[in-house]
Structure 1
C-alpha cells in the first residue's frame, strides 16, 4: 500500500509539473518593458513615398544616422508642445516624425525617459508620417511636393493645442501647396492640405497620408495580443501581424488607377502595439482607400490612406482635411474620438475573441475606477459584482457540494466494500447519488462559467493601458506587473535580489499576493468533497500550490482578482454549507492530513 501511495504521489507531482509547463507555454509571463528607442545602427534606409498614379512606390534613399539625435539634427524643425505630447516635425517633407508621450515613463517612477512613439527617417527605429499629393493626368512627381521637399513656414512658430502652423511650397510652375497642421490637447492632429492652381489649365491629383516604419519593430510576441496593422474598413475590423505582412497578397487597390479608389466611406488604418497606436483617418463620410504593405527594397512597413483624385480648375483652390491619431490607447480618449466621427475607434483596443465579455468587464471596471479612484479596488469591486451575478447558480452548486460532503462516510464505506472492483464501486455510487438526490456535476457549473470570465479579465488586464503603472496600495505600484515581493529574499528583508522576470527561475520567486492566492484556493478546496480516486485526490491537493507558482509572475491585478474571488467564494460556500447542516472542519482536516502522512512514514 505504501508503495502504491508513493507511486501516486510521484504521478501527482509529475502531472502538476506538466500543468505548470503547459500553462507557461500558453500564458508566458510578460517580458520586462524595454525603452522605446535603442541605439541600433542602420546600414541602409529608405523614405516611404506616396503611390504614383500607376501605384508604383519609388524609393528615396537617405544617408543613415548613427543615433536618433543625429537624425533629428539633419533637418530644420518646428517644435511640437502640448500637455501630453512633445517633439517636432521636419520641414523636409513636412513629416511628423519626432514624438514623445509626456504622461508615460518607460520605467515606473522614473521620469528621466518618456515613451517615444515616432522617430525620424534615417535614424534607428524610424517611425514617421508623410502627407502629400499623387500626380494624375499630365502631372508628374516633379510638379508636386515629395517626402524630401523642403517646406517654408508661412504661419506659426510652435505647434501647440492653441496655435496651428501652416507650411508652404511653390513648384515654380504655377502650383502653390499649403499644409496646415493643428493638434488638440490629447493625441489627434488635423492636417489640411490645399493646392492653388495658377497654371491656366485644369490639373488632377490625389491627396494621401502614409505611416511608415523602418524594419520590423520589437514586439511582445504573445499570441493573445495583436501587434501590427489594424484598420476599420467600412465597419470590419482587420488585423495583420508584422511577420505576416511580407507574405500578404498584393492588395488589388495597390496597382489600381488613382481615379478608381474611393470604395471605403468610413474607417481608419494604422499600426498598433499593446498600449500605443498611430492611425490615419479621413473625415466622416469621405471616400478613401486604405492599403497596408511591406517594401522589401527598403525594409519598410507601410499603411496608406488614399483619397480620390481631385480636379482643380484654373484659378481655383482645393483642400482636404484628414486626421492623425498618435498616442496612448486610453479608453476615454479614443471613445471621445469615436463619438466625434472616427467609427469603431474603441475597437483599436484588442478586445479579442471574447469581446462580448472583455468589453463589458472593462467598462464596469473602468466605471468603478473612476468612482473609487483606484484600479486595484475596482478589480475587487468587479469581483463582488461577478459573484453577485453568479450567486443563484453558485447557491445550487454549494448546496450540492454540502450534500456530497455529507455522503463522504458512505462513499468511503462503498470503497471499503468493493475494493478494486471499479465497476461495482461506480454502480454503488450512482445508486447512492440517486437515492440521496445529489447531482455530483452540479458543483462544476460555476467553475466552468468562471473560465471564460477569468480569461477575459486576464485579457483586459493585459491589454488595457489603464493598468499601466497603476498603483494599488503598499508595495503594489503597478497592477500590470507581477507582485514585486518575493519569499526568496524574505520579502525584502534579505539583501539579495530576485531572478529577472524573463528567467525561468522567476517562477520560484513568488510574492505576497500569489501566496495569498494559494492559501485561499487551498481553503476553498477543503470545503469540497474529496475525489474518490486517490491519485485524483493527490493531484487536487497539489493544485493550490501549483497555481501559486503558476500565477506568481502574472500581473498583480489578475492575482488580486483571484485572491478576492477565492475569498468571496470561501465565505459564500462556508456559509451555505453551515446552513445545510454541514460543519466543515478546515483546520482539523489539515492537521489530520499531516498526522496521517506522519503515521504512514
Structure 2
C-alpha cells in the first residue's frame, strides 16, 4: 500500500473518530417512552411515625397519592378551575392535589393552534406530575387523622382560582381537627398555599406541615445534554444543589429500594425539579427551617422532592397556620429575578449558568437588553458577538501579530530544518536562537487564544440555556432560534413543497440547511488564510475538518449556529486585516486555487 492510500485511510479514520466522539458527547435528542400509569398506592415515603416517634427528624410526608382510587377517573373527580393570565387548568378536591397546570402563553410548536405546554398532569395520564400539600401525623395521631390521598376536600370559599380570587378548601376529620387550605396565585407562575389546623379535640395534636412534588418517569422532552442540568434542584442556606434524573438512582438507600437524600435547611431555601425551560419548586417562607428531601423509587420510576417543616404542637382550642409557595412555570430571567428580589434566595440560579457563572450572567444580561433594544433575537446574537469580539480585540491582536511574525520566519525555519537533518537537538537550539534574535515568543499567540476560550464557551452556554431563545424568530424560515435549521437540501431549502427531515434523524444530519452550509464555508475560508500544511496527512485532515463539523454542528439550535457563523466571519476579518498590517499578505484566493489544483498537490509531494 502506497503512502497516499495510507494517508487517506488515516485521515478518514481520524474523521470518523471525531464524529463518533462528538455524537457520544452531544447525542441527538430522543423521545423518552411514556411511563405506564402507576397502580401501586403505597406512598413514596418513610414509614409513618408512631406516638413514640414524634421528633421532627422522623416526621415525613406520608399518605400521598400515587394514583386515583380504583375505578375513579381523574376527569370525573370534583375539581376547582385555575384561570390566570399565565396558568390554566384545575386542581382535584380528592387529596387536594394541584395536578393539572398548563402555561397559557406557551405552545408546544410555533403554530398558535398547537397545544399549550402542560407542566402538571393528573394520575392516570401518560406522565403524572403534581404537587401535594398536607400534614404528617406526629405523636398521638395516625394517618387517618390527617388529610391523605383519598380525602375529599370541600370548597369553603371561592369558585375559580384566579389572580384576585383565592380558593379555600376545608376538611373535618370528625375527631375535633379541622384543616383548611387557602390557595392564591399571582399574575405569573407563583401559587401561595396557606395551611391551617384548628384543634378542638380536647388534647394537644402534633403535626408536621409539608409540600411535595412527584413525577412519574422522566420528562418526555429530556435533552440529555451534558452542558444542561435537568432533574432535582434546590438551594439550602446559599448552597446550590443539583442532582440529575439519572444520578437520583445513586442517592443513598433509605429503606427497601427507595433512594433518598435529606438536607437540613436552617433559614432560606427551596427544592424542586428543573427542565430545559420549565421548573416547579417548593418554597417555604424566607427564614423558615425545613428538611429538603430528594427521593427516587426505581421500582416504579417515581421522582419526588419534599419540603418538610418542623413539627408543630397545636393545643386544644388553638389554631396553627403555615404558609409556603409553589412555583410552576417558565424560567424567564426577569420573572425569576423579580421573585428573588421579593425574598426567594438565589432563585435566579435555577437557570443553569454553569461553572463560568461569573461570565454567563453578565453575557446573558447584555443579550437580554440587546434583544429588548433591537426586537430581534437573531440580530441581538450577532450584535452580542460583535461586542464581545471588540472587547477581546486586544487579545486577538496579540495572537494574530504573533502568528504573522511566526509566518515571516517560516523560510528561515525551513533552512534550519534542512541544515539540522535528523538532529532534533541541533534544530531546537537553532530555533531558540532564531526566536531570540527576532524577539518572537512562539507561545504568545496561544495564550491570548486560550484566555478567550471561557468567554466563548460562556456565550455558547447562554445561547443554549436561555429561555428567551425558545420560539424566538430571526427572519424568513428561521422562526425558532432554539430549534435546528428548518431548511434542508432535501427540499431545496424550502422551495419544494415537502418538509425537511425530522430533527435528530440521520436524514436531518445528512440533508443540512442554509445555516450549517454557511458555517462550513466560514470555517473553510478561515483555513484558507494560510497555505495548506506540507504534511499530506495533516493536509487531508484540515481539508475535511470544516465539512465534518458542518454536519455535526448542523443539528444544533439555529441560534448557536448563527453565533458560530458570526464568530468565524469576524475572526476571519480580524485575522486578515492584522496580517496585512504586519506585512504578511494572506493569499486566500491562491490557497483556494491550490486546494483544488491536482497539479499543485503533485508538486508539493
Q: How does 1:396-435 map onto structure 2 within 5 Å? A: 396-413=398-415, 428-435=430-437
Residue of structure 2 in register with 1:44 after alignment: 39
Q: Which whole-Å CA distance do the structure 2 matches of 1:415 and 1:64 have between them?
A: 83
Aligned to 2:389: 387
Cα 1:200–1:210 change in 2 (3 A) is same
Q: In structure 2, do the counterparts of structure 1 residues 599 and 576 end up closer, same or farther at CA, with 3 Å as the change threshold?
A: closer
Rounded to whole Å, the distance in 2 between the matches of 1:357 and 1:46 is 47
Deviation at 1:574, TM superposition (A): 1.7
- CA, structure 1 residues 576+49, in 2 after alignment: closer, same or farther (shift >3 Å)? closer
Q: Find the residue that maps to 1:128 and give its secondary structure.
A: strand
* Partners of 2:512 and 2:415 in 1: CA distance: 41
| Pairwise CA RMSD | 3.0
Equivalent residue for 2:148?
Answer: 146
1:257-293 per-position Cα deviation (integer Å, ceiling 9, x unaligned):
xxx9975211001111111111101111012111111
1:526 paired with 2:517, answer no
Q: Which residue of 2 aligns with 1:307?
A: 309
Correspondence for 1:515 among 505, 508, 517: 517
Task: Return the offset for 1:184.
Answer: 0.6
Question: In the alignment, which residue of structure 2 is the partner of 1:228?
Answer: 231
Cα deviations by residue, 1:367-422 (Å, 9 ceiling, x for unpaired): 22222222222221221222122211111111122223333444455566667776
Q: Counterparts of 1:130-169 in structure 2 under 5 Å?
A: 130-169=132-171
Q: What displacement does 1:104 show?
A: 1.6
Gaps of 5+ in 2: 50-57
**Structure 1 contact 49–147 (Cα < 8 Å) conserved:** no
Measure, in 2, the Cα distance between the counterparts of 1:85 and 1:284: 24
> In 2, are the aligned partners of 1:155 and 1:165 still within 8 Å (CA)?
yes
More deviation, 180-189/213-222: 213-222
Q: Secondary structure at the match of 1:289?
A: strand
SS at match of 1:461: helix
Structure 2 equivalent of residue 7 of structure 1: 6
* 3-state SS, counterpart of residue 500 of structure 1: coil
Q: Distance in 2 between matches of 1:19 and 1:163?
A: 58
Q: Secondary structure at the match of 1:112?
A: coil
The 5-angstrom pairing of residues 231-250 of structure 1 reads 231-250=234-253
**Greater mean alpha carbon deviation, residues 137-146 or residues 162-171:** 137-146
Tell me, in whole angstroms, the C-alpha distance in 1 between the residues paired with 2:171 and 2:490: 65
Contact 1:64 1:122 in 2 (8 A): no
- From 428, 439, 444, the equivalent of 1:442 is 444
TM-score normalised to the size of structure 2?
0.89
Further displaced range: 562-571 or 432-441: 432-441
Q: Please give the per-residue CA displacement for 1:92-128, whole angstroms capped at 9, x wherever unaligned.
A: 1111000111122112224331111111123331111
CA distance in 2, matches of 1:46, 1:298: 11
In structure 2, the partner of 1:198 is 200
1:182 aligns with 2:184: yes
- Structure 1 residue 85 displacement after superposition: 0.9
Give how far 1:251 is off.
6.5
Structure 1: gaps of 5 or more residues? none
Over residues 29-83 of structure 1, what are the superposed CA-to-partner deviations in whole Å (9 max), with x where a residue is unaligned?
A: 4447x8xxx87653614374776435474576645899xxx84313100100111
Under a length normalisation based on structure 1, what TM-score does the superposition of the two structures give?
A: 0.89
Find the counterpart in structure 1 of residue 109 from structure 2: 107
CA distance in 2, matches of 1:48, 1:570: 61
CA distance in 1, matches of 2:268, 2:145: 30
1:428 to partner: Cα distance: 4.8
Match status 1:475 vs 2:477: yes
When residues 517 and 426 of structure 1 are mapped into structure 2, their CA distance, relative to the original with a 3 A threshold, is farther
Closer/same/farther in 2, CA of residues 572 and 232 from structure 1, 3 Å limit: same
What is the distance in 1 between the residues matched to 2:514 and 2:303?
44
Q: 1:297–1:559: structure 2 CA closer, same or farther, 3 Å change rule?
A: closer
In the TM superposition, what is the alpha-carbon distance from 1:477 to its structure 2 partner?
A: 1.1
Q: 1:80-99, aligned counterparts within 5 Å?
A: 80-99=82-101
Report the CA distance between 1:225 and its aligned residue. 2.3
Change beyond 3 A, Cα 1:261–1:555: closer
CA apart distance, 1:137? 2.6
2:27 is paired with a residue whose SS is coil
Deviation at 1:158, TM superposition (A): 0.4
Change (3 A) 1:573 1:62: closer
Query: How far 1:484 moved relative to its partner?
Result: 1.7
Partner SS for 1:356: helix
Distance 2:388 2:11 in 1: 32
CA deviations over 1:408-463 (Å, ceiling 9, x no partner): 44445556666777666555544443333333333323432343333333322222
Q: Is the 8 A contact 1:189 1:325 kept in 2?
A: yes
- C-alpha distance in 2 between matches for 1:114 and 1:261: 35
Residue of structure 2 in register with 1:282 after alignment = 284
CA contact (8 A) 1:173 1:199 kept: yes
Cα separation, partners in 2 of 1:414 and 1:7, compared to 1, 3 Å: farther
* C-alpha distance 538-153 of structure 1, shift in aligned 2 (>3 A): same
Given the alignment of the two structures, is residue 588 of structure 1 paired with residue 596 of structure 2, yes or no? no
Matched, 1:20 2:15: no
Partner SS for 1:24: helix
SS at match of 2:272: strand
Shift of residue 352, structure 1, vs aligned partner: 2.2
Distance 1:5 1:413 in 2: 26
How many pairs align?
587
The whole-number CA distance in structure 2 between the counterparts of 1:8 and 1:109 is: 50
More displaced 10-residue stretch of structure 1: 464-473 or 82-91: 464-473
Q: Please, which moves more after superposition, 82-91 or 44-53?
A: 44-53
Distance 2:525 2:371 in 1: 29
- TM superposition shift of 1:3: 4.6
